Structure 1
Amino acid sequence: MKTLYVKSGSVFAILSLLIAFGSSLPHAAQAGDDPQICGPRDIIIQRLAARFEERQSAVGMTNGGSLVELFVSPNGTWTFVHTNGNGITCLLAAGEDWEPTILETTSVAPTAS
């Protein structure tokens, strides 16, 4: 998979171009030689907010210390990103029709000892 590093001024142009060709966001996890969209975290996050109204919905750390985040909009668009230790964020996957689920908790009765 090729990685395409972009500067702050060109992230919006690249995302707009990809959108114009029928995709809500680039799907970097596709098979083949599709380029992976990467850039400074703050720029990527700003563009997700400005273009798609996406806000962080979930965040976690990998065993290797990288940050993974899910961004979701009120309209149901979503983007999953990965940020390395150098602050470079890459889009991993994106789509539409996000439906949040509520995790149900079960209470476990204490056992008598």
Structure 2
Amino acid sequence: MTPRLILFSAAVTCAWALTATAQQNCAKRDLVLEKLASKYGETRQSVGLGANNTMIEVFASLESGTWTITATNAHGVTCLMASGQAFETLAEALPATGNEL
């Protein structure tokens, strides 16, 4: 799954996740980023804007392959949306559409 597809999937589901402020998987953004860096060695790999001005980010460790998708609301509360293993950076070309000039 490409990082862009991961971002799109997370953006579709992030709006409802950020409405509940008492979720256990949410905290201030700086705390979440510090934990991702110190415990998992993950750094930001991509970023996009989701529904309701929610910032969707993909963090990953290129050494261990772990990855995490976060969603941050306008108040600076970051929620963990998904995480996993075997992260890879891809640069795939768009498929030919047959409409080339």
* TM bin (shorter chain): 0.5 to 0.7
In the aligned structure 1, how far is the partner of 2:76 from the partner of 2:57? 13
1:38 matched to 2:29? no
The alignment covers a number of residue pairs equal to: 80
Match of 2:57 in 1: 69
For the aligned residues, what is the CA RMSD?
2.3
| 1:102 partner amino acid | A
Once the two structures are TM-superposed, the CA of residue 99 in structure 1 deviates from its matched residue by 2.0
Match of 2:80 in 1: 91
In the aligned structure 1, how far is the partner of 2:21 from the partner of 2:73? 15
In the aligned structure 2, how far is the partner of 1:93 from the partner of 1:70? 9
Once the two structures are TM-superposed, the CA of residue 77 in structure 1 deviates from its matched residue by 0.2
Structure 2: where are the runs of 5+ without partners? Answer: 1-16
Match of 1:101 in 2: 90
- From 38, 57, 64, the counterpart of 2:45: 57
Once the two structures are TM-superposed, the CA of residue 101 in structure 1 deviates from its matched residue by 1.8
Larger radius of gyration: 1
Instruction: Work out whether residues 66 and 85 of structure 1, in 8 Å CA contact, stay in contact via their aligned partners in 2.
Output: yes
Once the two structures are TM-superposed, the CA of residue 102 in structure 1 deviates from its matched residue by 1.4
- Give the structure with the larger helix fraction: 2
TM-score, L = length of structure 1: 0.61
Once the two structures are TM-superposed, the CA of residue 36 in structure 1 deviates from its matched residue by 4.3
TM-score, L = length of structure 2: 0.68
In the aligned structure 2, how far is the partner of 1:87 from the partner of 1:41? 6
Once the two structures are TM-superposed, the CA of residue 64 in structure 1 deviates from its matched residue by 1.6
